[in-house]
């Protein structure tokens, strides 16, 4: 893994937090194993998470009918994105692995990190209708979510009050990371971190550092490739022959393409989910 570059995108406001400790452990462990590590500490940077016309420089092509996506695509093509966006995109371009470190807020990323995603992973740079999912621009990169929760794992189980964590993860891992082409590695989840003793937190950090030694060799979570779909703009509906080939499977192919079947257990938290 020597010679690889990682980008850590951190969204937590306190340096005394476990999320910050995870960031520090990640940086130290990867550097020890020969990685170059870039960090975007969004709170420290006071990163602007609000989309606006200020995200482009120069005059918009259609000022009277401003459409953010269309204008940002042209600005990206012409090198006219705002400087803070361009700086973050340079980090993503350099990175072989992107790690998102954050507390799970309201079943998703903190608003600051979601704003980073929306502004930095813009159309053209991170996706397009021609290059998406398994053919996305970042298909040679890997990414993972490393996050904490306020609740125990039991509350995020298939029979827990919050519901199955796999369903919560689908829009984050498939809708953001896989959509841009990233090979998505198993998430690093620390449940109920505020309610566990210090020795347990120390053990979590040690196990995380151990995992990081071979992180690049891990198998990614499996998603259906774009070749399994057909239709407008390169493929939107699952091909009939693909669906028919799975007709005898006990579980659906994915959380999203469930085909009315039972959801595959742990398909968003394990690389090898049950499929039969």
Q: Give the CATH number, domain containing residue 125.
A: 3.40.50.360
Q: Is the pLDDT of residue 273 over 60?
A: no
Q: Is the pLDDT of residue 235 over 80?
A: no
Q: Is the pLDDT of residue 272 over 90?
A: no
B/e letters for 90-125, b = 16+ CB within 10 Å, e = fewer, are ebbeebbbbbbbbbbbeeebbebbbbbbebbbbebb
Q: Residue 275: which pLDDT band, with cuts at 50, 70 and 90?
A: very low
Q: Note down the domain range covering 70.
A: 5-221
Neighbours of 51 (CB within 10 A): 14
Which residues, in sequence order, are CB contacts of 2 under 8 Å at separation 6+?
A: 33, 34, 35
183 and 275, same domain (yes or no): no
Which residues, in sequence order, are CB contacts of 133 under 8 Å at separation 6+?
A: 178, 179, 181, 223, 225, 226
Question: pLDDT per residue over 44-100, tens digit each?
Answer: 999 999 999 999 999 999 989 999 999 999 999 999 999 999 999 999 999 999 999
The pTM for the full model equals 0.94
Average pLDDT over residues 186-208: 95
98 and 180, same domain (yes or no): yes
What was the pLDDT predicted at 276?
Answer: 38
226 and 216, same domain (yes or no): no
Average pLDDT over residues 165-178: 97
117 and 182, same domain (yes or no): yes
Question: pLDDT per residue over 87-128, tens digit each?
Answer: 999 999 999 999 999 999 999 999 999 999 999 999 999 998
Task: Tell me the pLDDT of the chain averaged across its residues.
Answer: 94
The backbone torsions φ and ψ at residue 38, rounded to the nearest 5 degrees and listed phi first, read -105, 145
Q: Is the pLDDT of residue 202 over 90?
A: yes
196 and 265, same domain (yes or no): no
66 and 108, same domain (yes or no): yes
176 and 238, same domain (yes or no): no
181 and 249, same domain (yes or no): no
Q: Is the pLDDT of residue 233 over 60?
A: no
Burial class (CB in 10 A: 0-12, 13-18, 19+), 228: buried
Q: How many CA atoms lie within 13 A of 179 on its CB side?
A: 20
134 and 245, same domain (yes or no): no
Domain count, the chain: 2
Structure tokens that stand for 191 in this block: 């449940």
154 and 257, same domain (yes or no): no
DSSP for 226-250, written as a single string: GGGEESGGG--EE-HHHHHHTTT-S
202 and 69, same domain (yes or no): yes
Residue 128 CA to residue 175 CA, distance in Å, equals 13
238 and 130, same domain (yes or no): no
């Amino acid at each position: 893994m020597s010679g690889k570059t990682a980008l850590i995108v951190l969204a937590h406001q306190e340096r005394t937090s476990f999320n910050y400790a995870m960031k520090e452990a990640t940086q130290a462990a990867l550097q020890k194993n020969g990685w170059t590590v870039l960090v975007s500490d969004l709170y420290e940077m006071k990163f602007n998470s609000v989309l606006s016309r200020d995200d482009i420089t120069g005059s918009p092509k259609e000022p009277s009918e401003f459409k953010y996506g269309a204008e940002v695509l042209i600005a990206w093509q012409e090198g006219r994105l705002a400087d803070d966006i361009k700086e973050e995109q340079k980090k993503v371009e350099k990175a072989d692995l992107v790690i998102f470190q954050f507390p799970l807020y309201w079943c998703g990323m903190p608003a600051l990190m979601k704003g980073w995603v929306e502004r930095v992973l813009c159309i053209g740079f991170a996706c397009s209708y021609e290059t998406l999912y398994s053919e996305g621009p970042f298909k040679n990169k890997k990414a993972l979510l490393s996050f904490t929760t306020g609740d125990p794992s039991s509350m995020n189980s298939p029979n827990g009050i919050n519901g199955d964590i796999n369903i919560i993860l689908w829009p984050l891992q498939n809708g953001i990371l896989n959509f841009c082409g990233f090979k998505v590695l198993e998430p690093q989840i620390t449940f109920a971190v505020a309610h566990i003793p210090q020795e347990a937190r120390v053990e979590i950090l040690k196990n995380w550092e151990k995992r990081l030694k071979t992180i690049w060799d891990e198998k990614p979570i499996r998603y259906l490739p774009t070749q399994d779909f057909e239709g407008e703009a390169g493929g939107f509906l699952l091909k009939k022959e693909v669906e028919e080939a799975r007709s005898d499977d006990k579980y659906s192919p994915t959380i999203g393409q469930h085909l009315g079947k039972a959801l595959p257990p742990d398909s968003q938290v394990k690389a090898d989910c049950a499929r039969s």
